[in-house]
Amino acid sequence: MKLRLRVRPSWPALLAPLFALLLPGAAARAQGEAGTAASQVYRCPGPPVLYTDAISPREAAERGCRTIEGTPITIIQAPRPRAAAGASAPARAGNAEARVEPTAQRQRDSEARRILQDELRREEEKLAVLQKDYNKGEPERRGDERNYQRYLDRVAEMKAAITRKEADIAALKREIAKLPAP
């Protein structure tokens, strides 16, 4: 089993018991193969502390790794995955009753289309008013705008409002396009 686990250097002492929990066959190896080099788990120093059993004793010595010994090893069995709830959904008898009649669905779709078209019309009217006031980037100056920067700020706000309205209109048109044809 090749396992590499990187841990922050400040937590190695706290994570050594947790590491022992994460190795599925560590208890069997610790009891049955304690003398063999293949079952040794090493703690290697470095900016990320590395716990591994995938290196040979010679590589461990070259890297300055130490074996982890004397830590009690506990194995916890993972729970078995349950069958997905969605898999049995088509077999239920309640689904047939939950379906909407085609005439009722068409009525709902036409009502949604009407509401969206009314909202689209209102937004287009508001956009037309904003564009008229914006006057192609040169709106009329008001009396309270003696300072030129205030005028420029108002022009920038108007441009942002026009951009938002155009985005809203595009979103409404996309929603209307998603609805089935009347």
Domain ranges, ordered by start, for the chain:
4-67, 99-178
pLDDT per residue as tens digits for the range 10-67: 445 555 555 555 555 554 444 444 444 446 788 888 888 888 888 888 998 998 988 8
- Judged against a pLDDT cut of 70, whether residue 2 lies above it is answered with no
Q: What are phi and psi of 53, to 5 degrees?
A: -120, 15
By three-state DSSP, how is residue 43 classified? Answer: strand
Helix (H) / strand (E) element for 111: namely helix 102-134
pLDDT given for residue 107 in this prediction: 93
**Candidate ranges 22-31, 62-71, 72-81, 85-94; pick with highest mean pLDDT:** 62-71
pTM of the model: 0.46
| Under 8 Å between Cβ of 8 and 49 | yes
Q: What share of the chain is helix, strand, coil (3-state, %, to 5)?
A: 55, 5, 35
- Judged against a pLDDT cut of 60, whether residue 93 lies above it is answered with no
Token pair in block for residue 54: 């995938």
